[in-house]
Amino acid sequence: MKAVVFRGIGDIGVESVPDPSINQPTDAVVRITTSAICGTDLHLVRGTMPGMKPGTVLGHEGIGVVEEVGADVRNFRPGDRVVITSTIGCGSCSYCRAGYYSQCDRANPNGPEAGTAFFGGPESTGAFDGLQAEFARIPFAHTNMVRLPDALADDDAILLSDILPTSWFGARLAEVGPGDTVAVFGAGVVGQLAMASAVEQGAGRVLAVDNRRDRLDHAIMQGAEPINFDEEDPVEAIRRLTGGIGVDRVIDAVGVDANHPRSGPAVPDTEQVEPSSRSRPRPPPRSTRRGTSGIPGTRPRRWPSGPCRPRPRRGPSASSGSIRRRPGASRSVRP
């Protein structure tokens, strides 16, 4: 089959690779009808997220039709049209049963402390072949596929594979509730959907922080209030717009390549970047071809903690978005 393959930093290509097959009774093979490119794919190609194994098929967003299922996949059959979840969970461990699939203890072959497993990622995530291919093997298919109605087109359903759930869960982790004032840092696609998710979860007011006019214009179309951090200090602006109180909830939707302001009153504040952030390795020049910068972000000081007023949490997850694990355990989670 044909697939988009990672060859090295700044070097990907469409190649012929072996067709996937059923390796475990919980596997399924899906014929991919629509896939998408995520910002995470760009981080992998540019080298800002290291550890990619050459030959790995990229992509973790996909729609397709089930071709074959293993003996232990009882809820799907060949011919079913499905959306594939970007994060891989076993569906049986305590974290999956609690709904924290990114914390799964079994999906990552590197062990329960290895971190999140997802399609098309580096070796630390399991090095699962991804979904930018004609066919894909789906592990723990009973958990990592969701049946789609025929009325929902691929172009609409593809949002359900990664980017909308990421945004929705960000608002859930922030515990957005009725009437809350919410600040969203980063108004890219995840940020836009986080704003929409916050409103759907009851937010009464949304403030959008970014420095790109096109993104802020889209935020205005959603009814959000824009704050351009190249023109004003975002923490001070939030405090002023909220009468000095601050917001109830904050969602950080920036991801890996955060950038400091290029001008305006917030510049001195973000000059306090940790030396380790300044000295991060940069990708080789070949990753800058075809107009992509391939340069890691300048990583400003973490603004989101500044404008949020203290408030009791509503549910089992901390309002900062952290997920507690058993004592002595730690786990990294993909943005």
Residue 96 has pLDDT above 50, yes or no: yes
The residue-averaged pLDDT of 40-52 equals: 90
Q: Are 129 and 120 in contact (CB under 8 A)?
A: yes
pLDDT number for residue 254: 85
Residue 227 has pLDDT above 50, yes or no: yes
pTM score, whole prediction:
0.77
Q: List, for residues 248-298, the tens digit of each pLDDT value.
A: 999 999 876 666 676 777 776 555 444 444 334 444 444 444 444 445 555
pLDDT number for residue 278: 39
Report the CATH architecture of 2-161.
Alpha-Beta Complex (3.90)
The residue-averaged pLDDT of 217-245 equals: 95
**Whole-number CA gyration radius for the chain:** 21
In 3D, which of 43, 75, 64, 87 has the Cα closest to residue 1? 64
Ranking 47-56, 189-198, 209-218 by mean pLDDT, the lowest is 47-56
Residue 304 has pLDDT above 90, yes or no: no
pLDDT number for residue 285: 41
Tell me what the pLDDT averaged over the chain comes to: 84
pLDDT band at residue 302, thresholds of 50, 70 and 90? low
pLDDT number for residue 45: 93
The residue-averaged pLDDT of 90-102 equals: 94
pLDDT number for residue 264: 74
pLDDT number for residue 310: 58
Token pair 């909220």: residue: 242
Give the burial string for 201-234 (b: 16+ CB within 10 Å, else e): bebebbbbbbbeeebbebbeeeebbbbbbbebbb
Of 2 and 327, the structure prediction assigns the larger pLDDT to 2
pLDDT band at residue 325, thresholds of 50, 70 and 90? very low
pLDDT band at residue 299, thresholds of 50, 70 and 90? low
The residue-averaged pLDDT of 113-119 equals: 92
In 3D, which of 51, 55, 265, 37 has the Cα closest to residue 162? 37
The residue-averaged pLDDT of 74-84 equals: 98
- Alpha carbon distance 233, 269 (integer Å): 8
Q: Are 32 and 1 in contact (CB under 8 A)?
A: no
Of 158 and 328, the structure prediction assigns the larger pLDDT to 158
Q: List, for residues 167-200, the tens digit of each pLDDT value.
A: 999 999 999 999 999 999 999 999 999 999 999 9
Ranking 45-59, 89-103, 210-224, 253-267 by mean pLDDT, the lowest is 253-267
Of 267 and 85, the structure prediction assigns the larger pLDDT to 85
pLDDT number for residue 282: 45
pLDDT band at residue 221, thresholds of 50, 70 and 90? very high
The residue-averaged pLDDT of 300-324 equals: 50
CA 288 from centre of chain: 23
Coil, helix or strand for 24? Answer: coil
Q: Are 83 and 149 in contact (CB under 8 A)?
A: no
- Alpha carbon distance 62, 34 (integer Å): 6
- In CATH, the number for domain 166-305 is 3.40.50.720
Sequence spans of domains, the chain: 2-161, 166-305
Residue 226 has pLDDT above 90, yes or no: yes
Q: Across the strands, what pairs with 147?
A: 82
